[in-house]
Amino acid sequence: MKTLHLEVKDMHCSNCAMKLQALEDDLPGVTTVDASYHTQRMKVVYDETVVTPESIMDAVQKLGYTPDLS
């Protein structure tokens, strides 16, 4: 298991954080997502044998957000 910390500066309400958290269910290999609108950050715990940081960032982008490695 690995952890990826991302900065997502375009979360504009708590609902955005919830949408990002749903990646837990939607992206295989992602076990937990803690996204916070308050801090504009998200922490992703993932299985590196199943998913890559790049594909996690892609998935975040597909949801309409711009992730940055922090």
Partner 1 sequence: MLSLWVAFITGLTTGGLSCMAVQGGLLASSLANQIEKEVGGPGTKTKQKKSPKIALPITLFLTAKLIAYTLMGALLGALGSVLQVTPTMRAILQFLIAIFMIGNALRMLNVHPIFRYFSFEPPASVTRFIRKKAKNKTSLFTPIFLGALTILIPCGITQSMMAGAIATGSPLLGAALMFAFTLGTSPVFFILSYFATKLGSLLEKQLVRVVAVVLLVLGLLSIDTGLNLLGSPYSITKLLQTNTQPKVAEMLPVESQSANVITLNVVNSGYQPNVLQAPADTELTLNLITKNTNSCSRAFLIPELNISELLDQTGTKSVLIPAQPAGKKIAFTCSMGMYTGEIVFN
- Residues found near partner 1 in the complex (CB under 8 A): 12-15, 17-19, 21-22, 24-25, 32-38, 40, 64
Q: How far is the CB of 25 from partner 1 (least distance, A)?
A: 7
Q: How far is the CB of 41 from partner 1 (least distance, A)?
A: 12
Letter string b/e over residues 17-55, b meaning 16 or more CB atoms within 10 A of that residue's CB: bebbbebbeebeebeebebebeebbbebebeeeebeeee
Of 24 and 52, CB closest to partner 1: 24
Half-sphere exposure for 12 (CA within 13 Å, toward CB): 4
In the complex with partner 1, the residue whose CB is nearer, 41 or 57, is 41
* Cβ 31 to partner 1 shortest distance, Å: 12
